[in-house]
Structures are given as structure tokens and as C-alpha cells.
Amino acid sequence: MKLPLIRLAGAIIAVFGLNLSAHATPDLVNGKKIDQQKCYACHAKKSGFGNGDMIYTRSDSKVKNLQNLKSMVAMCNTELRLDLFPEDEADVAAFLNKQFYKFK
């Protein structure tokens, strides 16, 4: 019995290929899920608005550009020990930008 090595190699390449493309473009659906699961409730409470989206659109927002946004996400993640992977951090930052901040 011989393993069909060619097909195995093909499958491995397919899997790694998918992984690479997933890293190149942020996963907005994953970003949204993380925001809802890990971020929304605390922001709703801490901001006093009772709505976890409004901290991103408040008039005295601390976030002025994409770099600020990434640092703020990183800060909430590390300060609060949310244990997000760097990919997840990138996904959630991309989602917040697309949905709320709209920086270029």
C-alpha cells in the first residue's frame, strides 16, 4: 500500500495557501464576533452610554487615526488580559475601522 503522496502534498499546499490569504486580508466577520463577545459589554458599561458601539463614535474619541486605533485595541487587549492573538487584534481593529472610524 502506497500513500498517494502527490494528493497529500496538494492538500497541504491548499491548506497553507488558505492560511496565507487569511493573514493578508483581515477577517471582518471574526473582528465583529470578537467585538461582540469580548469588548461590547464592558464598553457599554464603562462609557455610561449603555451601548457598546457608542464608545467608538463618541465626540471626545481618543482615536484620531489608524495607528491610534491599533494602539487602543492593543491597550484594551493587553491591559485587560483579553488574550487575543495578534491576528484577532488586527481583525477587530479592521472591523472597527470599517464600521465606525473609517480612516483611510
Q: Which residues bind ligand HEC (CB under 6 A)?
A: 34-35, 38-39, 42-43, 46, 55-56, 61-63, 69, 72-73, 76-77, 80, 82, 84, 92, 96
d(CA 63, CA 43): 15
39 closest CA partner among 104, 100, 103, 102? 100
Minimum separation from the CB atom of position 22 to ligand HEC (A): 19
Of the two residues 13 and 49, which places its CB atom closer to ligand HEC in the complex? 49
- Residue with smaller CB distance to ligand HEC, 10 or 86: 86
C-alpha cell belonging to residue 4? 498517494
- Closest distance between ligand HEC and the C-beta of residue 25, in Å? 19
17 vs 86, beta carbon nearer ligand HEC: 86
How far, in Å, CA of 58 to CA of 3, rounded? 60
Query: Taking a C-beta distance cutoff of 8 angstroms, is the pair 38, 95 a contact?
Result: no
